[in-house]
Amino acid sequence: MPHTRIGTDLVDVETIAESVRTFGHLYLNRVFTPAEIDYCQQGGAEQSRRLAARFAAKEACMKVLRPLDGGIPWPSIEVIKMPGGWCELQLHGAARLLADSTGITHLSLSLSHEASMAVAVVAATVNP
């Protein structure tokens, strides 16, 4: 019988901004895909909020994927901005393999951010 898993995460925008200031491209490339970095960097003053929302989405997605060894690379979970304005998740590599092996057939994502906080909710349909 199909069921739903829910993951949520709340991120302080300044924490992400500080990581970018401290570690620069090393941090960005460890956590985000090139397309995510490109999109966020086009945001000007929104850059840190966009990055924080994507970080929250990756954390929320980890909560529905439930890796046993914690070995999923951050960039294997990608937030895609759709032409209509909403965002969706695309899984690659280890994240895709884990989703497939655990029966996750669909992921839904909701993001929001304000001046100091970003939040993400991920819902997963699981067919055991």
Q: What is the model's pTM?
A: 0.95
> What are the CA-CA distances from residue 28 to residues 1, 2, 9, 23 (Å)?
39, 36, 19, 8
pLDDT of 128 over the 90 cut: no
**52-70: pLDDT as tens digits:** 999 999 999 999 999 988 7
Q: What is the pLDDT of residue 90?
A: 98
Domains of the chain: 3-126 (3.90.470.20)
Note the pLDDT tens digit of each residue in 77-116. 999 999 999 999 999 999 999 999 999 999 999 999 999 9
Is the dihedral angle over the CA atoms 82, 44, 74, 26 positive or is it negative? positive
- Please tell me the predicted confidence (pLDDT) of residue 69: 80
